[in-house]
Amino acid sequence: MSNVKKALAALKNCIGRLKSANIELNHAFLALRLSDQTYLAAVPVMHSDCYDHHHFKVLNLAGLLTCNKLAHAIFLANSKTNAVILTHSRFCSQAAENGMDIPAVLDDMAQIIGLTIKICDIGDQQKINQLLKSSRGCLLKSPDTAKQGAVAVGKNLGEAFIVTLLMEKAAQVYLQANLLGGAKILSPIESQVMHLGYELAYSKLSGSVSHQTAADFPRPISAHELDLRGQLVDLGQSLARENLVQGTWGNISIRLDVQHMLCTPSGIDYATLTPYDMVRVAIDTLKYEGRIKPTGEKALHAALYLNHPEVHCIIHTHPVHCSVFAAAHKKIKPTDPVLRECLGGDVAVARYAFPTSKQLSKNVVKAIKDNRACVMENHGMVVCGSTLEDAHAKCLAAENSARIILEQISQKQPMTAPKPTVINKGVKHMPHFKKICKQIRVLSPRITVTEERGCIVLRGEVDDWATVVKAGQLAVDKKNYLGVINDVRLTDFVQQRQTPTVEDRSLNGEKPDVLIIGGGIVGCAIARELSRYNLDILLVEKKSDVALGATGANGGVVHVGVNFSKKSQKYRYNLRGNRIYEALSKQLSVPFEQQGQVMLCVKNWERILVWILKLKARTMGIPGVKYLKREALLQHEPHLPGFVVGGMYMPTGGITNPFEMAIALAENAIQNKARISLSTIVTGMETRDGHVTQVATNRGRLYPKLVINAAGVYADEIAELGGDRTFTIHPRRGTDIITDKNAGYMVGSSMGISPFAILPQQLSTLPKNPLKRMINGFAGTSHTKGVGLIHSIHGNMLIGPNAIETPDREDTATHYDEVNGILAMQQQIATELKPSDVIAYFTGVRAATYEEDFVVRKGIFTDNIIHAGGIQSPGVTAAPAIAAEIAEWSVQMLSHTMNVAANPDFDPVRKPRHRLNSLDDSQRNALIRANPDYGIIVCRCEEISKGEIIDALNACLSVPTLDGIKRRLRPGMGRCQGGFCAPLVAGIIAEHFKIPLSAVKKSSENSVILYRQTKGVAL
Ligand SMILES: Cc1cc2nc3c(=O)[nH]c(=O)nc-3n(C[C@H](O)[C@H](O)[C@H](O)COP(=O)(O)OP(=O)(O)OC[C@H]3O[C@@H](n4cnc5c(N)ncnc54)[C@H](O)[C@@H]3O)c2cc1C
C-alpha cells in the first residue's frame, strides 16, 4: 500500500473510532503530515455521517493554509507534530464557553496531557503554538460559539486521537462532577511526575513493541489457554469500542489456573493485540512469562484473586460516567434495580493512591468485600466477575448506572460552571516526601526540602561536607522522583575552576548540528559514533587536551559488571560496552587485553556469595563466571597470599589504556570530519520555550541544533544551564598508585577481595561488636568496584583506588596518608610489594550522583539536549555503549528538522602508528632504514623513538606539550618519570615547530617549564 493509501485508511479509521466514542465531528478538521510539503486532510463536514471520498484531500502547504489556517500554523511551528485534530465536541466547547482551564482530575489526563488543559483564543495562533509545545492539546475559545472546541496534536494520528478522547472526557468529568459536589483535583506535583513518567517511558512502549507469536513460548499452549487468550483480546477490543477504555489504558485479567492469571500487556493498543501478547503471571510472585510486560496493575489483579477465590475475571476500565464519580470521590448507588442486582449493590470507593502502587492494590482490596465493583478515586473502575461475560456485564452496568444517576440529578439541578480548584490534600505530596523531610530535619534543621518539577530539592547551608552528602543520600527515592537536586552550600567553600585563559571569537556564530560538551572518553566516543553520519559535529573541551578529566586518571579496567543492579543504567551500558571493547580496540589500534577479573575469598563460606553472583551473572548474560579453588586460581594468579582459599574468576574482564582510547576515539572522529576545539569552555546557555537556542563559550556564541552534555563532574551544572537539571554530582575522588613494571608480575588480572572478607589489618581497626564490625567492613567497599590490584595494559601494577567524598570537583591532590594506607592494605595481598616499587600516584574525581547511577537520557524539560551525566565507574567500560545509544537518539531528534544520512566516507579504522617497542629486530631495522628518526631512542624506559614523537606531533589531534606527548606515547611514564627524556621531548617539539625551547609547555598555556636557555640540548 502506498503511503497516501495507508494514511487515508488510518484517517478513516480514526474518524470511525471518534464517532463510536461519541465525539461530534461536525465542522471538525483532521490532518496528517505526509512530508513537509504534503498533507492529507479530512475537510469539515456538516455532520459526522457525511464523510465520503470527496472530503479527504492531499494538500500542499498553500492548500492547507486555505483549508485551515490554524492547522497550517501548527504544522509549521512544530516539526514533531505530524497529526492535528480540531473538534467542536460538546464538553470541550462547553468548557471553552465557561472560559476555564481544565485541571487534572484523572490520572490518565495527567499522564498524557499534563497538569492542565489550557484555554486559548482561537485567533491567537502564536499562543496556541506556545501551549502545544508543552502540552498535546488545548481548548479553543471564540466569540463565535460554533467555532469553540479543542485542538489535539500528536507525533502520529493515534496520539492525537487519544488526546482528543481524553480532553473531551476530562472536560465532561470536570463539568459533571459539579453535580456531585465538585471534582477533587490531583496534586500538581503528582500530575507532573505522572506526566514525566509517561513522556519518558510509557509513551515509547506502544511504538516499540514487537508482538509475540507461538514461537516465543518454550512450552506448548493448550487449546483451552489459547481460547482464553483469544477471549481477552476480543473483550479488550469491545471495551475500546464501547469507550470504556481509551488507547492503551485499562487492563483485564482472567484466572488461568490455581497459580496463574493471564493479563493484558502494558502499553499496547487494544486494536493491535493478539492472543500471544497476553501475559501469564504467577499470582503469588507476580513473575511473568515471555518478552512482553504485563499490565502495571498486575499486583492489583493478583491481590483481588488472592482475596476472592470465586473471582475469575477482573476488568479495570476508565469509563466516562464512572470517572465523574471517581473525580468527585463518590459511591455509585444504582437506582435501576436490574443494574443494582447485576452489580450486587453499591459501587464502593477505593481511596486514592499512585497508579500501580502497592497502596492502590491495598485500597482496592479494602473497598471490594461483598460487593463486586469499586471506583478508584481520580482514576477509574475495577470490577470482578465469576466469568468474563459476568465481569463485562458489570462494567456496562456500572457505567449505565453512573450515567442514569447523572442524568437524573441534572434534570433536577442545572449544571453550573465548576468552582475554582480544591487541591486534594490527601495526595499533595509523593508518599515518601514526609519521611524524607523528617530524616533530613533530624540530620540538619538548616536544610529545607521541597518537591520541584518531579525532583527532591534540598537547599540551605551547613558547615561540613559529610552533612551535605548525607542529606543528598537520604533524599534518594528512585521510584517516585526523577532525582535529587542538592543545592545545600558548604560554608566558606567556593569552587575553584580551571578555565582556559584564551578569549577569542574563533567559534562565534557557528551553527553545528551537534555540540558535544566535554572531551572525556564519553564525549570522544559520542563524537566518533556521530561521525558515521553527515553531520556537522563540534566537540568543545575546556582543557588543553582531551582525556584530562576522570578519563585521564583511572584504572582502565573494562569491568565485567556482575556487581551492578540489573535495573541500573550502569549494568546495561557496562555489559554492552564490555562486549564492544575488543573489536573497537582493534579498529582504533589501542592495546586491550581480556585478562579477567578475580574476586578473592578468604573464608570458605564466602563461596555462598560467589554462588549468588554466579547465578546473577547467568541472568545478566555474563558468561564464564566460576568459583576456583586456590589450586586452580593459582594458575591465573600464581602470587596469591596464603590466606586466600579460592575466588570468583570472571574471564570477560579486560584492561585498556583509557586516555589512549579517548585520544584514538577523538582522532578517528576527526578523521571522519568531526571537529574538536580544545581550551573551549561552555559558560552559559540561552533557552526559550524548552529549547536551547544559544551556547556561550570563551570563543564566542554558538547556535547548535542539538547539545550533548558529557561534562563529567560538571554535567549537573551544564544540565542546569540547559534548563533540564534533575540530578546532582557529588565529587568522589580516588587515588591509584603505579608501580614499576618489575613489580607487575605480582598480579595477572584485576584482583580484589570479596566484600565479606576482612583482612588482618582491617580487623585491627574494626570495632569489637561483630555486627558493627560487619557493617564497617562493608562500608569501605560500597562505592568502589572492589578492585585492589590491577595488571595494567603496559605491564605495571596499579594499586587502588580509594573513595573519598570531596566538595571540590577538581580536587586531584594526592595525600601521603592515603597513599600509605592504600599501599599497606594491598601489601597484605601482594605480599612482595615494597614501597620502593612505587613510581607514581595520581588522583581522579568520580562524577557520582546521589542515585549512584548514570544519567543517560534525553532532555525532559528541554527538547534539544541529551545528557551523559553521572558517569562514574564503570564509565570507561560503558563509554562505547553510551555513545552508540546517544548517537541513535541524536539522529532521531535531528531527523525532525534535517535530513540525516550516513557519512559515505566513514572509516572506523584509525590509521595505525609505528610502535617500536612492539616490533621485532627485523621490523625495527626496516623502519629505521626508511626513516632514521625511528632509530633515535628518546625514552629508554618505554623505548620510544624520535620518529614516533614526530608522528604524534603530525597527528590530526596534535597537542604539542610534554604531557600531550606523554599521554600519546608514554615518554615520562616509566621508572625515571621523565627525568631523562623530558628535555629531549621538549627539544623535539621546539625543533619540529621551530619555536624557542622556552615556548614549549608542560600542559596548559600557563605551565611554563623553561624561562631561559642555560646550555645547549644535544639530540
Ligand atoms: C580513581 C578512578 C578509577 C576509575 N577506574 C575505572 C575503571 O577501572 N574502569 C572504568 O570503567 N571506569 C573507571 N573509572 C570511571 C571513569 O574514569 C569515568 O567514568 C570516565 O572517565 C568518565 O568519562 P567522562 O567523559 O564522562 O568524564 P571526564 O573524563 O571527566 O570528561 C569530562 C570532560 O568535560 C570537560 N568539561 C567540563 N565542563 C566543561 C565545560 N563547561 N565546557 C567544556 N568542557 C567541559 C572536562 O574538562 C572533562 O575533560 C574510574 C574513575 C576514577 C576517578
pLDDT tens for each residue of 107-119 = 988 888 888 899 9
Tell me how far apart the alpha carbons of residues 762 and 785 are, in angstroms, rounded to a whole number: 18
- The sign one gets for the Cα dihedral 911, 916, 917, 921 is positive
Q: How many CA atoms lie within 13 A of 565 on its CB side?
A: 7
Write the pLDDT tens digit of every residue in 189-216.
778 788 877 776 656 555 556 788 888 8
Measured by CA distance, the residue closest to atom 9 of ligand 1 is 557
Q: Rounded to the nearest whole angstrom, what is the distance from the C-alpha of residue 501 to the centroid of ligand 1?
A: 22
CA dihedral 318, 321, 322, 327 (to 10 degrees): 90
3-state secondary structure 342-388: HHCCCEEEECCCCCCCHHHHHHHHHHCCCCCEEEECCCEEEEEECCH
Tell me how far apart the alpha carbons of residues 40 and 84 are, in angstroms, rounded to a whole number: 11
Q: Rounded to the nearest whole angstrom, what is the distance from the C-alpha of residue 813 to the centroid of ligand 1?
A: 16
Q: DSSP for 47-95?
A: SGGG--GGGEEEE-HHHHHHH-HHHHHHHHH-TT--EEEEE--HHHHHH
Write the pLDDT tens digit of every residue in 420-439.
333 333 334 566 788 899 99
* Helix 946-953 with 962-969: angle, nearest 10 deg: 110
Within 6 A (CB) of ligand 1 lie 517-523, 540-543, 548-551, 553-557, 559, 681-682, 710-712, 714, 734, 736, 801, 844-846, 871-877
Tell me how far apart the alpha carbons of residues 664 and 660 are, in angstroms, rounded to a whole number: 6
Please tell me whether the peptide bond between 801 and the residue prior to it is cis, using omega within 30 degrees of 0.
Answer: yes
pLDDT grade for 246, boundaries at 50, 70 and 90: confident
Which pLDDT does position 413 carry in this prediction? Answer: 67
**Residue written as cell 609505528?**
914
Whole-Å CA distances, 944 to 673, 740, 1001 = 30, 17, 20
Calculate mean pLDDT across residues 90-100: 87
| Nearest atom in ligand 1 to 710's CA | 26
Q: Rounded to the nearest whole angstrom, what is the distance from the C-alpha of residue 871 to the centroid of ligand 1?
A: 7
Which pLDDT does position 205 carry in this prediction? Answer: 52
Calculate mean pLDDT across residues 514-543: 98
Helix spans in 448-568 (H): 465-474, 521-530
**Residue written as cell 459539579?**
178
Which pLDDT does position 203 carry in this prediction? Answer: 60
Mutating to test ligand 1, I would choose from 808, 853, 871, 886 the residue with most ligand atoms within 8 A of its C-beta, which is 871
Q: Rounded to the nearest whole angstrom, what is the distance from the C-alpha of residue 850 to the centroid of ligand 1?
A: 17
Residues near 20 by Cβ (< 8 Å), separated by ≥ 6?
241, 243
| Nearest atom in ligand 1 to 574's CA | 11
Measured by CA distance, the residue closest to atom 16 of ligand 1 is 875
Q: Rounded to the nearest whole angstrom, what is the distance from the C-alpha of residue 446 to the centroid of ligand 1?
A: 32
Tell me how far apart the alpha carbons of residues 828 and 602 are, in angstroms, rounded to a whole number: 12
Write the pLDDT tens digit of every residue in 255-305.
999 999 999 998 888 888 899 999 999 999 999 998 889 999 999 999 999
| Contact indicator for 728, 847 with CB cutoff of 8 Å | no
Q: Rounded to the nearest whole angstrom, what is the distance from the C-alpha of residue 462 to the centroid of ligand 1?
A: 28
CA dihedral 118, 121, 123, 124 (to 10 degrees): -60
Which pLDDT does position 224 carry in this prediction? Answer: 94
In this structure, how many other beta carbons lie within 10 angstroms of the beta carbon of residue 737?
25
Measured by CA distance, the residue closest to atom 18 of ligand 1 is 875
Tell me how far apart the alpha carbons of residues 367 and 363 are, in angstroms, rounded to a whole number: 6
Calculate the average pLDDT of the chain: 90
Burial of 805 (0-12, 13-18, 19+ CB in 10 A): middle
Calculate mean pLDDT across residues 474-495: 91
Q: Rounded to the nearest whole angstrom, what is the distance from the C-alpha of residue 520 to the centroid of ligand 1?
A: 5
| Nearest atom in ligand 1 to 871's CA | 19
Q: Rounded to the nearest whole angstrom, what is the distance from the C-alpha of residue 986 to the centroid of ligand 1?
A: 28
Q: Give percent of the chain above pLDDT 70.
A: 93
Residue 497 one-letter amino acid: R
| Contact indicator for 830, 789 with CB cutoff of 8 Å | yes
Residues near 712 by Cβ (< 8 Å), separated by ≥ 6?
518, 520, 522, 549, 550, 551, 847, 871
Mutating to test ligand 1, I would choose from 526, 542, 558, 729 the residue with most ligand atoms within 8 A of its C-beta, which is 542
Please tell me whether the peptide bond between 874 and the residue prior to it is cis, using omega within 30 degrees of 0.
Answer: yes
Residues near 2 by Cβ (< 8 Å), separated by ≥ 6?
none
Q: For residues 196 and 736, which has the higher predicted lDDT (pLDDT)?
A: 736
Mutating to test ligand 1, I would choose from 541, 679, 751 the residue with most ligand atoms within 8 A of its C-beta, which is 541
Q: Rounded to the nearest whole angstrom, what is the distance from the C-alpha of residue 85 to the centroid of ligand 1?
A: 47
Measured by CA distance, the residue closest to atom 21 of ligand 1 is 551
Which residues share a beta bridge with 750?
A: 597, 790
Which pLDDT does position 530 carry in this prediction? Answer: 98
pLDDT over 60 (residue 782): no
In this structure, how many other beta carbons lie within 10 angstroms of the beta carbon of residue 698?
20
Tell me how far apart the alpha carbons of residues 374 and 656 are, in angstroms, rounded to a whole number: 60
Whole-Å CA distances, 289 to 230, 260, 606 = 17, 11, 33
Q: Rounded to the nearest whole angstrom, what is the distance from the C-alpha of residue 695 to the centroid of ligand 1?
A: 22
